[in-house]
Structure 1
Amino acid sequence: MSAIKNTHLELDKRALANRFGSRAESYEAATPVQQVMGQCLLDRIRSEQPNVNVQEILEVGCGTGRLTRALKALFPSANITAIDISQEMIDHATKQVPGPVYLVIDAEEYLQLVNRQFDLIVSNATVQWFVHLDKAIERMCSVLAPGGFLALGTFAERTFCELADAFNCAYQKNQLAVQNHVVPMKSVDYLRQLLPEAELVERDVLAHFADVRTFLQSIKDAGAVNSQAGRRPIPRTVLRDMPHYYEALYKKPGSREIQATYHTCFLFYRRPPD
């Protein structure tokens, strides 16, 4: 698969698949925030359950199968199609949660190809990696059955804002042009405009880490490093100074720990019945 480009982002999908695949074994332990997000999706889906006759489910970006397992338990008679871009993630999910139909495919490509409808479409911490999110949301709505429910969880613009601030300070100290080393996320306003009929819920989740090194390792263990093609390496002096600024600005009061913001955002939409 070649790199996909648009005016906002040049994302190497092959690199993305490889990075997530290499972290399939460590992913669940490294992603407690994603687990919290998945639980938020499940809680809302349960509350909608009496209003939706769920026979066909599509999970976009199933990863290791953590959410897939819960969906299978909640809807034991439903047919689940679970897709992911990483072969290693699918292999892990297949072993952990047998039963669903698993497909290794880029979700954006799948949404353009699929010609069936689903009663429930769920995606957790995946759509932030899409290149053409507007087209993907449009396709999700088109393959959502009348009366069906769409539940998406993603990250928004303030995610890792502390890390971005620390990098900016380090670049300025070294009198270098500031470069962005934090994965760019969509704004809440942009997400709201994608599907105005949807309910949008946003929540800041603050995570705490022993130090900056531990925080950065958690990002690496989750496979969520920046996959923008052509990105420049970080200057050594910036790497040296960034942790000092991070700890000076964002150390947890009364503690040696540092904080990191995960700006989570959820879209909930039920298609009107025919």
Structure 2
Amino acid sequence: MPAIKNTEFDLDKKALANRFGSRAESYEAATPVQKVMGQCLLDRIRSEQPNGGVREILEVGCGTGRLTRALKALFPSANITAIDISQEMIDHAKKQVPGPAYLVIDAEEYLQSLNRQFDLIVSNATVQWFVHLDKAIGRMCSALAPGGFLALGTFAERTFCELADAFNCAYQKNQLAVQNHVVPMKSVDYLRQTLPEAELVERDILAHFADVRTFLQSIKDAGAVNSQAGQRPIPRTVLRDMPHYYEALYKKPGSREIQATYHACFLFYRRPPG
């Protein structure tokens, strides 16, 4: 297998936790796409485990507990360990879904020291924030009990491609060196190489918004702003021009709404029994 290209980036995890924590109350309303992705994971898990048989579950990045609630309903006798980097998210989840063992911790740190095994490991819209994703996925696989199942949903490279294009146009118009203000997502090839034995499923989910401002506010309300360390402020002229390019290039046909692409990728893997 060819070496996995290093796509690590310098992420400010403290800023990430603070940003998600500040949006704990608004997160679910602001993330309909993540809800769709969670349902895709649940549908697959249900088909893989039609007769239950799941005793220990790990949810990586439980957020407000939306997926946790569904997992608890699907496997009422299972022990669920749900982790998240944000204290506020965990507090919200505890109120909404009592019962699971909740833990506030950086998931990459947790996986690094994990010495337990689980029948099911689930993560939705979380691993795109991992700095060393290939290592983390390897540790998740190692933490699966024989016959255990891994179900991951994340965002890939085409996510917010329209926003990136609009920013590039605005920078070029103002004759400035282009800067990236969109969270860098892993490529499909990278995701495939992290776990070649897994089934990888892609799905482009198109969301529509009244205008660019509404779209950007939805990103902010979800806590999903770029948390890369060393981010430079966006020049005023670029902020002024970017929405015009976005609307000119990506207005929904026959409507005043604009579209935004969420490039969802799912990895499904079952550890061999025995």
Q: TM-score range by the shorter chain?
A: over 0.9
SS of residue matched to 1:82: strand
> How has the CA–CA distance of structure 1 residues 3 and 198 changed in structure 2, closer, same or farther, with 3 Å as cutoff?
closer
SS of residue matched to 2:49: helix
| Equivalent position of 2:191 in the other structure | 191
SS of residue matched to 1:217: helix
* Counterpart contact for 2:55–2:79, Cα < 8 Å: yes
Shift of 1:51: 7.3
> How has the CA–CA distance of structure 1 residues 104 and 4 changed in structure 2, closer, same or farther, with 3 Å as cutoff?
farther
In 2, Cα distance between equivalents of 1:262 and 1:37: 10
Shift of 1:4: 20
Shift of 1:6: 8.7
Shift of 1:221: 0.1
SS of residue matched to 1:103: strand
* Counterpart contact for 1:90–1:104, Cα < 8 Å: yes
* Counterpart contact for 1:127–1:154, Cα < 8 Å: yes
User: How far does the alpha carbon of each residue in 1:30-67 deviate from its partner, in whole angstroms, 9 at most, with x for none?
Assistant: 00000000000000000000477210000000000000
> How has the CA–CA distance of structure 1 residues 162 and 67 changed in structure 2, closer, same or farther, with 3 Å as cutoff?
same
In 1, Cα distance between equivalents of 2:110 and 2:5: 18
* Counterpart contact for 2:85–2:106, Cα < 8 Å: yes
SS of residue matched to 1:44: helix
* Counterpart contact for 2:120–2:148, Cα < 8 Å: yes
SS of residue matched to 1:115: coil
* Counterpart contact for 2:7–2:186, Cα < 8 Å: no
* Counterpart contact for 2:4–2:193, Cα < 8 Å: no
> How has the CA–CA distance of structure 1 residues 146 and 4 changed in structure 2, closer, same or farther, with 3 Å as cutoff?
closer
Shift of 1:139: 0.3
User: How far does the alpha carbon of each residue in 1:65-98 deviate from its partner, in whole angstroms, 9 at most, with x for none?
Assistant: 0000000000000000000000000000000000
Shift of 1:131: 0.3
| Equivalent position of 2:234 in the other structure | 234
> How has the CA–CA distance of structure 1 residues 17 and 165 changed in structure 2, closer, same or farther, with 3 Å as cutoff?
same
Worse-superposed segment, 105-114 or 51-60: 51-60
User: How far does the alpha carbon of each residue in 1:125-184 deviate from its partner, in whole angstroms, 9 at most, with x for none?
Assistant: 000000000110010000100000000000000000000000000000000000000000
Identity across the alignment (%): 93
In 2, Cα distance between equivalents of 1:3 and 1:211: 42
TM-score (norm 1): 0.97
* Counterpart contact for 2:24–2:92, Cα < 8 Å: yes
> How has the CA–CA distance of structure 1 residues 49 and 77 changed in structure 2, closer, same or farther, with 3 Å as cutoff?
same
User: How far does the alpha carbon of each residue in 1:215-274 deviate from its partner, in whole angstroms, 9 at most, with x for none?
Assistant: 000000000000001011000000000000000000000000000000000000000001
SS of residue matched to 1:11: coil
Shift of 1:113: 1.2
SS of residue matched to 2:50: helix
In 1, Cα distance between equivalents of 2:237 and 2:2: 33
> How has the CA–CA distance of structure 1 residues 147 and 193 changed in structure 2, closer, same or farther, with 3 Å as cutoff?
same
> How has the CA–CA distance of structure 1 residues 150 and 2 changed in structure 2, closer, same or farther, with 3 Å as cutoff?
closer
SS of residue matched to 1:176: coil
In 1, Cα distance between equivalents of 2:225 and 2:189: 24
SS of residue matched to 2:264: strand
* Counterpart contact for 1:3–1:11, Cα < 8 Å: no
* Counterpart contact for 2:4–2:194, Cα < 8 Å: no
* Counterpart contact for 2:182–2:226, Cα < 8 Å: yes
CA RMSD of aligned residues (A): 3.6
Runs of 4+ in 1 over 6 A off after TM superposition: 1-7
* Counterpart contact for 2:157–2:186, Cα < 8 Å: yes
Q: Equivalent residues in 2 for 1:257-272 (5 A)?
A: 257-272=257-272
SS of residue matched to 1:50: coil
Shift of 1:7: 7.1
Ranges in structure 1 where 5+ consecutive residues have no aligned partner: none
* Counterpart contact for 1:2–1:12, Cα < 8 Å: no
> How has the CA–CA distance of structure 1 residues 260 and 250 changed in structure 2, closer, same or farther, with 3 Å as cutoff?
same
* Counterpart contact for 1:147–1:270, Cα < 8 Å: yes
User: How far does the alpha carbon of each residue in 1:177-196 deviate from its partner, in whole angstroms, 9 at most, with x for none?
Assistant: 00000000000000000000
